[in-house]
Amino acid sequence: MAWALRDRTAIIGLGETAYTKRGGAAQSEMGLACEAIRRAVTDAGLTLDDVDGLCAYNSDRCTIVEVAEALNLQLRFANLYPGGGNSAAGVVQNAAMAIATGSARVVVCYRSICQGQQFRYGQARSGYGAHSAAIQATVSSWQAYMAPFGLMTPAQICALDARRHMHLYGTTSEQFGLVAVCCYANAQRNPRAVMYGRPLTLEQHQASRMISDPYRLYDCCQESDGACALVVTSREQARDAAASPVLIAGAAQGMAHGDGVYRGGRPDELWTSAGMTEVAREVYEAAGVSPAEIDVVQAYENFTGQVVMALEDFGFCERGEGGAYVQSGAINWPDGSTPLNTSGGNLAEAYIHGLSLVLEGVRQLRGQSTSQVEDAEHCLVTAGPSAPPSSALILRRAA
């Protein structure tokens, strides 16, 4: 039944605030969320009165109840996806399921982050004196198992996978660096990007300070302030949309057997994987396409090595060949076979927990990207790796 949602729903509206470096936002996290939602609804040619559903990350501090009250929405459907970056495609799938089952007619997915106003996702936290209940909940759960072994930040955790990949397959730091160079190059064509006007060379990447071996500064995503949102509705209603609709061809979510945030008893094969091989199989089946039919990829980059592993998981190359695939230029715009993160992605546009990657996928299929892939018909969007349960989407250009 993976195909049950195929092409039945569409994304018809996009909205985002200005993206800034952590601490650069001029308004509150809630203010940013509301601004992004209003812009997405306007882009769809609708009004807030048309919105009857909201989907969000369960880590978003702008709760669905608060957002609905602030915007005076009358909801029939509300949904939270568990986690952070792993939610990027999952919230859209959940919105699509609500539309397909008649639970709602117009659902908005949103994510708002102000790392300058709240805690930082990349920062180690002991919990002593913590002001946020979210911080204390985190410390009291998985960090209680991992911190005693020195795993206190996402970089430290994900670096283990990258080092194992290097050990087994000869993957190099330079190959990881080429992912960052690609994303920064795309950001130079995107005025929305925080790193617009700040190109990156491989030499700069290699000279940057070590964060958690093998990850250097430019292997790590940004810490950003900003918000984005998108509008999902039925294919039938999308025909009347103000902008070109983009079909949700397929969606999948889940986690590999034996994977988990504690990583206890983790199978050997997951130490060199983004943990998304099953999600990949299901999303291709759901959309009825193969990796060869994907024209452009928006892959979640919390860290560059996880992108290399995701490219393998999603069938663009064999296991262990991701580094060579990147080095071949396959991910580069405009001549690569699978141009990657054409807005700059989490590394160079902004870190909005991956939902902005979905917006860029829609722009590609509307023909509105600043690094437009010619005649793009299918875009793959992958959510956060190594953070189960994760998710993925395949978007299709409407005929």
The DSSP result for 132-156, as a single string, is -HHHHHHHHTHHHHHGGGT--SHHH
Q: Count of CB atoms within 10 A of residue 374's CB? A: 7
Mean pLDDT (10-residue bins), the chain, 399 residues: 84 97 87 97 97 95 95 97 92 97 98 79 52 48 73 87 97 98 98 98 98 97 96 95 93 80 73 93 97 98 97 98 98 97 98 97 98 98 86 95
In sequence order, the 6+-apart residues with CB closer than 8 A to the CB of 6 are 249, 250, 286, 287, 288
Homologous superfamily (CATH) for 2-118+221-397: Thiolase/Chalcone synthase (3.40.47.10)
pLDDT given at position 135: 47
pLDDT given at position 129: 40
Domain boundaries, the chain: 2-118+221-397
pLDDT given at position 131: 44
In sequence order, the 6+-apart residues with CB closer than 8 A to the CB of 62 are 29, 30, 33, 56, 110, 112
To the query of whether residue 351 is one of the catalytic residues in this protein, the response is yes
Tokens 């580094």 locate to 323
Tell me the whole-structure pTM to 2 decimals: 0.94
Whole-angstrom Cα distance, residue 343 to residue 340? 9
Determine which one of 110, 169, 300, 325 is catalytic. 300
Whole-angstrom Cα distance, residue 96 to residue 268? 35
To the query of whether residue 325 is one of the catalytic residues in this protein, the response is no
- For the chain, the first-to-last Cα distance in angstroms comes to 24
Closest CA to 209 of 221, 199, 219: 219
pLDDT given at position 125: 55
Give the phi and the psi of residue 179 in degrees, each rounded to 5. Answer: -65, -45
Give the phi and the psi of residue 56 in degrees, each rounded to 5. Answer: -145, 170
